[in-house]
């Protein structure tokens, strides 16, 4: 795979006014989301729900691609069209979550490392054949008493870089996601410091593993006060701190940065992205790769009546996509 093709895919993922919808919840995670709205976690309900999302009319006005879970990449619409084809036909790029989740980091209580490198080359080869053109790997960095440790940050960065190199070898753009978790009583400055160290370690590892940044997308968390800190940061404070942290750690050759929502309210996630783009010009396009902040309103509606509320749920998906697409241009207003 040439770097030109990878770079072309990466740039298309962050095309002006477009972002990614993350619908790659593992079977365990979607079980929790479904339980929250009283939907049974069956394979058919997961398929129907993902069909609803991916066939939202005119979704590609604001959505460049979607991150799918293994099961979803193998599923089809009720009429038998594979989801990857539905997406490609609509001008959206299929992506695939390839990590195998977080596991306790031995010797470091409270910390986790993401697994999934063993056998990854063969899995990527298959995912490419199934139509995926980018992948995602999520690392989790928790903040708490005396954590994160340097060991945890570096172990996760190393795994992310090994994953990224394998993706590029197999023709997929790696989305590298080191998520600094919002939960905790820490203040915004602590989140800034942890995010800064995490990104420094990540880009050092990507360099060591010969990963081509021109064919890589960063999925970043925002710099926020911990959810139980009692602190409230303004939209401008969050946007300014996040931008400053990214500017001091992320090379300008990267084609783009997308954000996760991480448990922020829908409107907060949109407002923060919009504010960062208004503060531009920035070295890279800044867009979204939201899961919950794209889906939670739609899921709630659908959960009330999974047969008759499909169109109403799709309308909210479209509205969330439009608002976040405008925020990616710094043109959103409430
Ligand atoms: P949230 O936007 O719900 O954090 O999900 C994004 C994601 O893909 C996390 O890996």
pLDDT single digits (tens) 31-68: 999 999 999 999 999 999 999 999 999 999 999 999 99
For the stretch 159-182, pLDDT in tens is 999 999 999 999 999 999 999 999
Checking if the pLDDT of 123 tops 80, the result is yes
Nearest CA to ligand 1 atom 5: 291
pLDDT (average), residues 138-165: 98
Q: Return the domain boundaries, the chain.
A: 3-329
Mean pLDDT confidence for 68-96: 98
Q: Of ligand 1's atoms, which has the minimum distance to the CA of residue 293?
A: 2
| Mutation test residue for ligand 1: of 181, 220, 268, 289, the one with most atoms within 8 Å of CB | 289
Asked if the ipTM is above 0.90, the reply is: yes
CATH topology (fold) of 3-329: TIM Barrel (3.20.20)
Question: What pLDDT is attached to residue 1?
Answer: 65
Q: Which of 89, 92, 94, 85 is nearest to 61 (CA)?
A: 92
Q: What is the model's pLDDT at position 94?
A: 99
Annotated active-site positions, please? 177, 219
Mutation to probe ligand 1, out of 65, 221, 260 (largest number of atoms < 8 A from CB): 260
The atom of ligand 1 lying closest to the CA of 295 is 3
pLDDT at 334: 87
The band of 309, judged by pLDDT with boundaries at 50, 70 and 90, is: very high
pTM above 0.90, yes or no: yes
Of all residues in the chain, the percent with pLDDT exceeding 90 is: 99
Nearest CA to ligand 1 atom 9: 260
Cβ atoms 140, 181 nearer than 8 A: yes
């Amino acid at each position: 795979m040439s770097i030109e093709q990878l770079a072309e895919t990466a740039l298309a993922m962050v095309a002006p006014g477009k972002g990614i919808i993350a619908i790659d919840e593992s079977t365990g995670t979607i079980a929790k989301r479904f339980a929250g709205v009283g939907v049974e976690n069956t394979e058919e309900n997961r398929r129907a729900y993902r069909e609803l999302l991916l066939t939202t009319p005119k979704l590609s006005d604001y959505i460049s691609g979607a991150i799918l879970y293994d099961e979803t990449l193998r599923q089809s619409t009720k009429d038998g069209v594979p989801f990857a084809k539905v997406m490609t036909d609509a001008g959206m790029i299929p992506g695939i979550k390839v990590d195998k989740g977080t596991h306790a980091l031995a010797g470091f209580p409270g910390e986790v490392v993401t697994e999934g490198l063993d056998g990854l080359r063969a899995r990527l080869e298959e995912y490419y054949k199934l139509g995926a053109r980018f992948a995602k790997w999520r690392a989790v960095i928790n903040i708490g008493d005396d954590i994160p440790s340097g060991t945890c940050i570096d172990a996760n960065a190393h795994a992310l870089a090994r994953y990224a190199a394998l993706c590029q070898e197999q023709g997929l753009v790696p989305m590298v996601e080191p998520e600094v978790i919002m939960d905790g009583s820490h203040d915004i400055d602590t989140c800034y410091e942890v995010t800064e160290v995490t990104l420094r370690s990540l880009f050092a590892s990507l360099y060591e593993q010969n990963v081509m940044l021109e064919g890589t997308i960063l999925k970043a968390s925002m710099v926020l006060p911990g959810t139980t800190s009692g602190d409230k940061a303004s939209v401008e404070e969050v946007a300014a701190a996040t931008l400053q942290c990214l500017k001091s750690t992320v090379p300008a050759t990267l084609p783009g940065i997308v954000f996760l929502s991480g448990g922020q309210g829908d409107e907060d996630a949109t407002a923060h992205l919009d504010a960062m783009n208004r503060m531009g010009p920035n070295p890279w396009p800044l867009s979204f790769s939201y899961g919950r902040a794209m889906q939670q309103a739609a899921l709630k509606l659908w959960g009330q009546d999974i047969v008759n509320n499909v169109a109403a749920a799709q309308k909210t998906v479209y509205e969330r996509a439009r608002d976040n697409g405008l925020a990616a241009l710094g043109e959103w207003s409430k």
